[in-house]
Amino acid sequence: MEFTALQIAGMLKGEIVGNPDVSVTSLAKIEEGQAGALSFLSNPKYEQHIYTTASSICIVNDSFEPARALPSTLTLVKVADAYACFAQLLAIYDRMNKKEAIIEQPCFIHESARIGQNVFIGAFAYIGANVQIADDCQIHPNVVIQEEVSIGKNTTIYPSVSVYKDCRIGSNCIIHAGTVIGSDGFGFAPDDSGIYSKIPQIGNVVIEDDVEIGSNCSIDRATMGSTFIRKGVKIDNLCQIAHNVDVDQHTAMAAQVGIAGSAKIGKHVMIGGQTGIAGHLSIADHTKIVAQSGIPSTVKKAETLMGTPAIPINDYKRSHFGFRKLPELLRKIYDLENKLGELLKKKEA
């Protein structure tokens, strides 16, 4: 990768302050900048570093005015939103680093599988019967894609992902290493003696377009019908999504979230890490759930929730303040009991 400040400003519709011909070949955090590197500054907390950085180009908000002299080697590109524009450049850089469209050997591709154009398939991948992989996909080494799976355009599946039979994955998706799509839901029925019998899981998983799933996640197939991950959903690493869950559009969840079976998660919901959500409930659109919360019942209106069981965050803060006071309150109660006991003894005497 090599871009000049003039090219970067053109892509981002920004304004150049400095040398338009200076070029960069790498990316770096502003505090770790070096000659030939591109950095960005959006958080005022890091402004101090722009006065000492060795980076050659820095993307800044168009409202930025330096408080003192900048390094003579630094060129600024001023844009409306530095963070968003830097993310845009990272996306361009990522596209430039895509694997060449080849099928590495050894791998297994069933004769009935249909592979689109400009597709990379890594060594030791397994592509089962009647699989459909659309154009521009990247299937990395050791991926297993079982029979009847379909994958949309420009989707990337990283190493050691397993996609079970009949699952559907949309376009422009990213699934990171070690994730399992379509494993059996946790379905068992106890008999009179308490011995569990397996309930066959005959549904599938449907992942719509523009979804990203982190590493080592597990998304279970439905008992019947489908487990849905809707358009634009973002899932962090180490999340568990059980059978027949429906995660609606543009919802995001951080690491170690667990969602029990048949829960319905609304649109634009934000779920903090290590949150546990019980099954057979629904969560309203635009709800926000603070990390390590527990959701035992339906959330009917959008609000920010915290705690186990989760309650509105302001109520939780007041409750937590009271909880922190409990040792002091207990001491006062013990003191009052002792004084009351002494008064009763005096009265009896």
How many residues are recorded in the chain?
Answer: 349
The answer to whether residues 178 and 160 touch, using CB atoms and an 8 Å cutoff, is: yes
Query: Looking at the annotation, which residues are catalytic?
Result: 243
Retrieve residue 6's tokens: 């003039």
Retrieve residue 99's tokens: 């694997």
| Separation between Cα atoms, residue 323 and residue 312, nearest integer Å | 16
Strand pairing partners for 168?
150, 206
| C-alpha dist (Å) from residue 249 to 209, 210, 233 | 10, 10, 6
Strand pairing partners for 103?
121
Closest listed residue to residue 41, CA positions, set 17, 71, 13, 64 = 64
Q: Where are the beta strands (DSSP E) in 31-137?
A: 37-41, 57-61, 75-79, 108-109, 114-115, 120-121, 126-127, 132-133
Task: Count the neighbouring beta carbons within 10 Å of the beta carbon of residue 97.
Answer: 7
